[in-house]
Amino acid sequence: MGRSRHCSEEQRTLIKKLIREGKTYKEVQKMIGCSAKMISNALKWRAKPERRGRKRKTTIKMDRRITRMAKAQPMITSRMIKDSLELPVSTVTVRRRLCEANLFSRIPRKVPLLKKRHVQKRLQFAKEHINWPKEKWRNILWTDESKIVLFGSKGHRQSVRRPPNSEFKPQYTVKTVKHGGASIMIWACFSYYGVGPIYRIPGIMDQFA
């Protein structure tokens, strides 16, 4: 077998078995063709305990508190969570725990700020027209007006912690209103056949403009 000082697990098991049966080193050497050093190493060998890696910096209780706060306040930052809970860990660790809980940082979707009656009207419209055939929809001209803000405070980019596929749930969105500094009012339309022209509306636009 050569002069190797180490052997496989099967060889170690066989060497230990033969020694327990009362065989001498020389007898074992002849039987399996190994060196005396290999026999000695096999008898001394002990399996190394599994390495557990670096100790986790947070406890289960800390993880629950982090997750609970993020779910209660989706727009909160990892820094705010760390400071509010007085956690003895870095903001990077807080972010890791949030990701483990499937609460990933995303840019929130912007949706119009609607009153309850507006939501009800939109839902009612959808229910009334859910069975409309395609032919009818092809005859509809959709129009809308919008104000484009030219100057105004941009502010900082906001983020939200949310689970996957939940971007349009109300608690994970940012509500927008039509206001700001200098702006222009435009009107446009589209239909099944394509988009129409865009018109700039001078002054203030109302239902008769």
Confidence of residue 50 (pLDDT cuts 50, 70, 90): low
Confidence of residue 9 (pLDDT cuts 50, 70, 90): confident
Return the higher-pLDDT residue of 37 and 176. 37
Please give the model's pTM, rounded to 2 decimal places: 0.51
d(CA 14, CA 41): 13
In degrees and rounded to multiples of 5, residue 190 shows phi and psi of: -155, 160
Is pLDDT at 201 greater than 90 in this prediction? Answer: no
Highest mean pLDDT among 14-18, 37-41, 195-199: 195-199
- Check residue 5 and give its pLDDT: 61
Q: Which long-range contacts does 82-90 make (Cβ < 8 Å, 24+ apart)?
A: 87/58, 87/62, 89/57, 89/58, 89/62
Return the higher-pLDDT residue of 32 and 118. 118
pLDDT tens sequence across 149-181: 655 445 557 788 888 888 888 888 887 766 555
Is pLDDT at 136 greater than 90 in this prediction? Answer: yes
- Check residue 155 and give its pLDDT: 53
Confidence of residue 38 (pLDDT cuts 50, 70, 90): confident
The mean pLDDT of the chain is: 84
Tokens 């289960």, located at residue: 60
How would you classify the pairing of strands 173-176 and 109-112?
Answer: parallel
Confidence of residue 2 (pLDDT cuts 50, 70, 90): very low
CA dist 44 → 23, 34, 38, 39, 71 (Å):
17, 16, 10, 9, 54
Task: Report yes or no: 35 and 3 within 8 Å, Cβ to Cβ.
Answer: yes
Number of Cα atoms under 13 Å in the Cβ half of residue 9: 2
Is pLDDT at 206 greater than 60 in this prediction? Answer: no
138: Cβ contacts below 8 Å, ≥ 6 apart: 191, 192, 193
Rounded average pLDDT over 101-118: 87
Task: Indicate the range of 4-13, 110-119, 127-136, 145-154 predicted with least confidence.
Answer: 145-154
